[in-house]
Amino acid sequence: MTDTADEALAVDADPIGTYREEPTGHAAGRRASRSRASRTLRARTALRARKASGAHQASRAGRDLPAAIGIGVALGALVLASLLIKKEFFLPVLVVAVGLAAWEVRRALTSIQINAPLVPILIGAVSMLASAYLRGAEALAITFALTCTGILIWRAAEGPVGALRDIAGGCFVAVYPCLIAGFASLLLAEPDGARRIIFFILVTVVSDIGGYAVGVLAGKHPMAPSISPKKSWEGFAGSVLACTLTGALAMTYLLHGRWWVGAIIGLVAAGVATIGDFIESSLKRDLGVKDMGTILPGHGGLMDRIDSLVLTLPVIWGLLWWLAPATGG
């Protein structure tokens, strides 16, 4: 925009009925010059403010998009590489991710004076993931029970004050995310476990991508404003469409199953992933925190990134077990 146009944006008009004596000579020239410079400065300031406001409104996602994309691609590459090289390499990646997520949830609980015992939680997380991979669902259930017992004994030994509250918090972390993440080990243990993990990640991740893209472009009707104001019905429709299509394609070309089975799984996954986002938002509101952590730029904490993944795990595992049994490695 030219200086002349800038000036035109902020021309000052005298109030109606106001009389001002016009200066003459050099004084008039100096005053006119100062007035033009002042108007130009005000116009440019106003223009910058409008541009900044527009940029703020355009960024409806509420996060650093380039950083979020970069971190997402890096995490995806790490997971994919571990699965393609040798599926067992994914297990330590899973252990580290779940351990960090459990630590974040436990730390967030301290904001409401719940001090869940960290040591038995982390030992239990590793034990659940390993036992589920090596011995199946029964071992996962037994290890979870032992983890809760360990939390009870550990916290009781520290004294009675606040013990019930801390034990309940510890058992909550043992369930969310540790026990639920054990279903990833069950998926991995199947003969075609690497492909099942990739199927699960694809279907769940595109829920976020489809919902985010459509929500930013066309989202107008909030689903639950009191819980998550940025979640819209339009975004949810995008999630459903993306998950259904991806599920059908991935089932056909990745797991060599019937396309409609993949479409059903994708449809259900979209709903469950959205519920997972709402649960995470509700927990953060109750705890009074914006994010569970800060380890991932553009995402917040690791738990903020895998919230929808965690909740869809047992659902997708169950649907694959029922509708698409393992066919080999």
Q: In this predicted structure, what is the pLDDT of residue 35?
A: 54
Asked if residue 188 belongs to a domain, the reply is yes
Q: Using CA atoms, how far apart are residues 145 and 287, in angstroms rounded to an integer?
A: 26
Asked if residue 117 belongs to a domain, the reply is yes
Q: In this predicted structure, what is the pLDDT of residue 84?
A: 93
Q: Using CA atoms, how far apart are residues 195 and 205, in angstroms rounded to an integer?
A: 15
Q: Using CA atoms, how far apart are residues 138 and 141, in angstroms rounded to an integer?
A: 5
Q: In this predicted structure, what is the pLDDT of residue 212?
A: 83
Q: In this predicted structure, what is the pLDDT of residue 73?
A: 85
Residue 317 token pair: 């595992």
In 3D space, the residue among 205, 172, 198 whose CA is nearest the CA of residue 79 turns out to be 198
Q: In this predicted structure, what is the pLDDT of residue 329?
A: 55
Distances in whole angstroms, Cα of residue 174 to Cα of each of 170, 220, 290:
6, 37, 22
Count the domains in the chain: 1
Q: Range of 160's domain?
A: 65-323
DSSP letter (8 states) at residue 119: H
Asked if residue 5 belongs to a domain, the reply is no
Asked if residue 205 belongs to a domain, the reply is yes
Asked if residue 21 belongs to a domain, the reply is no
Residue 71 token pair: 């971190």
Q: What is the mean pLDDT of each run of 10 residues along the chain (329 residues)?
A: 40 39 50 53 50 42 66 87 95 95 94 96 98 97 98 95 96 96 97 96 92 87 85 93 97 96 97 90 87 71 83 96 81
**Could you report the per-residue pLDDT of 133-188, keeping only the tens digit for each?**
999 999 999 999 999 999 999 999 999 999 999 999 999 999 999 999 999 999 99
Q: What are phi and psi of 300, to 5 degrees?
A: 100, -125
Task: Return the amino acid letter for 9.
Answer: L
Q: What is the pTM of this model?
A: 0.77
Q: Using CA atoms, how far apart are residues 62 and 41, in angstroms rounded to an integer?
A: 31
Peptide bond into 229 cis (omega under 30): no
Q: Using CA atoms, how far apart are residues 248 and 202, in angstroms rounded to an integer?
A: 11
Asked if residue 249 belongs to a domain, the reply is yes
Q: In this predicted structure, what is the pLDDT of residue 258?
A: 96
In 3D space, the residue among 119, 91, 92 whose CA is nearest the CA of residue 103 turns out to be 119
Residue 82 contacts residue 93 (beta carbons within 8 Å): yes
Burial 29-66 (b: 16+ CB within 10 A, else e): eeeeeeeeeebbeebbeeeeeeeeeeeeeeeeeeeeee
Q: What are phi and psi of 222, to 5 degrees?
A: -65, 145
Q: Is 221 buried (19+), middle (13-18) or exposed (0-12) by CB count in 10 A?
A: exposed
- Token pair 């107008």 in the structure block, residue: 220
Q: In this predicted structure, what is the pLDDT of residue 96?
A: 95
Within a 10 A sphere around the Cβ of 233, how many other Cβ atoms? 14
Q: In this predicted structure, what is the pLDDT of residue 265?
A: 97
Beta strand pairing status for 222-224 and 228-232? antiparallel
Asked if residue 32 belongs to a domain, the reply is no
Asked if residue 268 belongs to a domain, the reply is yes
